[in-house]
Structure 1
Amino acid sequence: MISARKWTAVFLMLLGAAACSGGGEGKSSASRTITGDVNVYSGRHYDSDIVLFDQFTEETGIRVNLIEAGGDALIERITQEAEASPADIFMTADVGILWRADQRDVFRATDNEAFNQRVPAQYRHPEGKWVGLSKRARIIIYNKEMGLPEGLETYEDLADPAYRGMICVRSSSNIYNQSLLASIIAHDGAEAAERWAEGVVANFARKPQGNDTSQIEAVAAGICRLGIVNSYYTARYKGSKDSKAAAIGEMFELFFPNQNDRGAHVNISGAGVTKHAPNAENAEKLIAFLLRDESQRAFASGNNEYPVVPGIAPEGPIAAYADFKADELPVSALGEHQAEAVGIFDRAGWP
């Protein structure tokens, strides 16, 4: 059996041919036939996804052709390919990207009983255009030696002048931060969210730089006392078999905010069937496969995330940090407030 990864080079050549054929003008998806394939455009880049795709092929005989790139680049590609696009599924690692794709008319509405029964409504598009596959929390970490500052309980508290010079976080251009601020807009309103962003900027320990890994290592090194990161990044250090990473993991601890009110901010990895999918039925079969119990465990644990289907316990290092109250805000709201969040970041001077 040829793996999904090995099909990528062949699939790229097919995409090039499709792009040269006129971009979709005059070529309807109805003129194409289902070939026994399913074509996945994915913004996720994990070998564990490949293993699951290969298992799906072994079970169903449906070959998975995979293209991996950044989420925004894939949205642009699907849009340019128009009706000639071979994409059946668009998959990505943040609901903000799913929202951008929806704004570009990438998805079709799908009323799939398996999706609706398996995934809570808050992790699905209200019209069935995409569905969550795994989830993660955006949390606060703190330097163990310095300790969690007194009085810190919520995201909102991070703007308190008492925490001046303590916070490390990545750039406002990062979609994870945009989604976090979108959640604050949804809960507290735009004016309060802008005051929050201004307060956090005033509390920076350094200018935003790097990814979440950079924030973790800066907190561990004592460059900053607090960091804002996605939960799965922490699991790459906690209990790592690499001695250097494990040593860093011993120097910071996790804190889930807002446990006495709305709960910690949660985001998703998710996928939807594309508007012009030539193999839409196969696409729905693959997504349903990824929502099965055993697939959920593998899909989530491959990136130290939490399964999106209720009742399935997470595995690996993140399992030690699974007992927390999660925000019940529908994740679709994060996309709806994304543009407003970007404007607030700009006005607040958050680089």
Structure 2
Amino acid sequence: MPKTVKALLTACALAAAAGAVSAQEQVVNLYSARHYSTDEALYSGFTKATGIKINRVDADDAGILARLKAEGSASPADVILLVDAARLYKGEVDGLFQPIKSKVLNEAIPAQLRSVPTTDGGVSWFGLSTRARVIVYNKVKVQKADVDTYEELGDAKNKGKLCIRSGSHPYNLSLFGAVMEHVGEQKTEAWLKGVVANLARAPKGGDTDQIKAVAAGECDIAVTNTYYLARLMRTTKAEDVAMVNKVGVVFPNQDTWGTHVNISGGAVARHAKNSANAVKFLEYLASAEAQNYFANGNNEWPTAKGVSIENPALKAMTGGTSFKSETIPISAVGANTTKVQQMLDKVGFQ
């Protein structure tokens, strides 16, 4: 059975189940784009703490947004988890989320990692974990100083050295949207032309494929989200250990605006039937217990204030210290991605 059909049938089953739930049973219906086995601990932890059962539908970001539009007011969805700032912004703009007021979330999540509040103080979505967009490089062929900024990805000195996934992938759209927020449209377009000129091959594959390409000598530098590299760093497979030993990692722009971070975030669905439970779930995901699952289970950076990181791979990447991340509003990054896509088409970035 095709995945889209299967997911739709599952959503319909949720709707039927929601209508049949007794007054005594507490549930929350979740549409999630997070496909990480470690998240099971989050769900069981929430149910254990609250007694609220989670019914879950899994799909990708685009599929979830499309389903919410198609289902309209009949949607059984209560809470939405997406893995990209641009998608969260799109869901907000399309009116698919309901702004909520939560003192717990407002105090835990920094302002730049959540949507711009409405006039009455409601917030449409909150970032619950982050992943830094870093540069990996061949330690033998490349000097760290030549790749310690995003700008250098478009510098002629790195011509023919770069591997990267599709420019239109949400992770790259968010990075490019962040660059545009920092330097403006004109400089961003010129930079993207330079990035295209520096490609060692046509964009393809995922972030792990870019790391492998650097280790294999197919290219000398690449861009990846930190959790992909952390997975490789935490494995005991001999081939992965050898791969990691060949590459270095740099958190770009530490002397200027800081490294770009994208978010995995949550929102309450516009037509949620169990909105109070949905808010409780998001508040739980901002708790120290859940934030530690994000960090130690899936190699993400916590967003909640005051949460320490014990993940050995994340510590090793930064030398045991914190890194400087950008502080621009993540909502502005999402808003820039439409113009960025137009730039990509113009400069021929696949």
Q: TM-score of the superposition, structure 2-length normalised?
A: 0.90
Q: Deviations over 1:43-84 (max 9, x none)?
A: 110122121111111121100011110111111111111111
* Mapped pair 1:223 → 2:222: no
Q: How does 1:244-283 map to 2 (within 5 A)?
A: 244-283=239-278
* Mapped pair 1:120 → 2:110: yes
User: In the alignment, residue 146 of structure 1 is paired with which amino acid?
Assistant: K
In structure 2, what is the equivalent of residue 107 of structure 1?
Answer: 97
Q: CA deviation at 1:299?
A: 2.2
Q: Deviations over 1:219-266 (max 9, x none)?
A: 111111100111111111114222221211111111111111100011
In structure 2, what is the equivalent of residue 310 of structure 1?
Answer: 305
Farther-moved stretch of structure 1 (242-251 vs 315-324): 315-324
Farther-moved stretch of structure 1 (310-319 vs 258-267): 310-319
Q: How does 1:168-183 map to 2 (within 5 A)?
A: 168-183=163-178
Equivalent position to 1:296, from 291, 294, 298? 291
In structure 2, what is the equivalent of residue 23 of structure 1?
Answer: none
Equivalent position to 1:163, from 158, 163, 171? 158
* Mapped pair 1:59 → 2:49: yes
SS of 1:238's equivalent in the other structure is: helix
Equivalent position to 2:28, from 22, 38, 42? 38
Farther-moved stretch of structure 1 (305-314 vs 188-197): 305-314
In structure 2, what is the equivalent of residue 346 of structure 1?
Answer: 345
User: In the alignment, residue 295 of structure 1 is paired with which amino acid?
Assistant: A
Q: CA deviation at 1:294?
A: 1.5
User: In the alignment, residue 305 of structure 1 is paired with which amino acid?
Assistant: E
Q: CA deviation at 1:13?
A: 5.0
In structure 2, what is the equivalent of residue 85 of structure 1?
Answer: 75
User: In the alignment, residue 346 of structure 2 is paired with which amino acid?
Assistant: R
- Give yes or no for contact 2:125–2:268 (8 Å, CA) kept in 1: yes
- Give yes or no for contact 1:238–1:250 (8 Å, CA) kept in 2: no
| CA gap 1:282/1:252 in 2 versus in 1, 3 angstroms | same
| CA gap 1:11/1:60 in 2 versus in 1, 3 angstroms | farther
SS of 1:327's equivalent in the other structure is: coil
Identical residues among aligned pairs (%):
38
Q: How many residues align?
A: 333
In structure 2, what is the equivalent of residue 3 of structure 1?
Answer: none
Gaps of 5+ in 1: 1-7, 19-28
Q: How does 1:131-142 map to 2 (within 5 A)?
A: 131-142=126-137
SS of 1:90's equivalent in the other structure is: strand
SS of 1:257's equivalent in the other structure is: coil
User: In the alignment, residue 316 of structure 2 is paired with which amino acid?
Assistant: A
| CA gap 1:16/1:87 in 2 versus in 1, 3 angstroms | closer
User: In the alignment, residue 103 of structure 2 is paired with which amino acid?
Assistant: E
Q: Deviations over 1:15-54 (max 9, x none)?
A: 4759xxxxxxxxxx9xx97951001100110122121111
User: In the alignment, residue 250 of structure 2 is paired with which amino acid?
Assistant: F
Equivalent position to 2:206, from 208, 211, 214? 211
In structure 2, what is the equivalent of residue 22 of structure 1?
Answer: none
Q: Distance in 1 between matches of 2:144 and 2:44?
A: 47
Q: How does 1:194-205 map to 2 (within 5 A)?
A: 194-205=189-200
User: In the alignment, residue 342 of structure 1 is paired with which amino acid?
Assistant: Q
- Give yes or no for contact 2:33–2:81 (8 Å, CA) kept in 1: yes
Q: How does 1:149-160 map to 2 (within 5 A)?
A: 150-160=145-155
- Give yes or no for contact 2:130–2:261 (8 Å, CA) kept in 1: yes
Q: Distance in 2 between matches of 1:37 and 1:143?
A: 49
| CA gap 1:9/1:150 in 2 versus in 1, 3 angstroms | closer
Q: CA deviation at 1:302?
A: 2.2
- Give yes or no for contact 2:15–2:76 (8 Å, CA) kept in 1: no
User: In the alignment, residue 344 of structure 1 is paired with which amino acid?
Assistant: M
Equivalent position to 2:317, from 308, 311, 321? 321
SS of 1:302's equivalent in the other structure is: helix
Q: Distance in 2 between matches of 1:58 and 1:17?
A: 24
- Give yes or no for contact 1:11–1:65 (8 Å, CA) kept in 2: no
* Mapped pair 1:144 → 2:139: yes
Q: Distance in 1 between matches of 2:300 and 2:187?
A: 30
Q: Distance in 2 between matches of 1:35 and 1:279?
A: 11
Q: How does 1:177-196 map to 2 (within 5 A)?
A: 177-196=172-191
Q: CA deviation at 1:107?
A: 0.5
User: In the alignment, residue 237 of structure 1 is paired with which amino acid?
Assistant: L
- Give yes or no for contact 2:147–2:250 (8 Å, CA) kept in 1: no
Q: Distance in 1 between matches of 2:8 and 2:341?
A: 36
* Mapped pair 1:233 → 2:228: yes
- Give yes or no for contact 2:14–2:29 (8 Å, CA) kept in 1: no
Q: Deviations over 1:176-204 (max 9, x none)?
A: 11001101111111010000000000000
Q: Distance in 2 between matches of 1:91 and 1:325?
A: 26
Q: Distance in 1 between matches of 2:276 and 2:180?
A: 38
- Give yes or no for contact 2:138–2:215 (8 Å, CA) kept in 1: yes
Q: Distance in 2 between matches of 1:105 and 1:331?
A: 18
Gaps of 5+ in 2: 1-6, 118-122
Q: Distance in 2 between matches of 1:208 and 1:14?
A: 39
Q: Distance in 1 between matches of 2:45 and 2:189?
A: 47
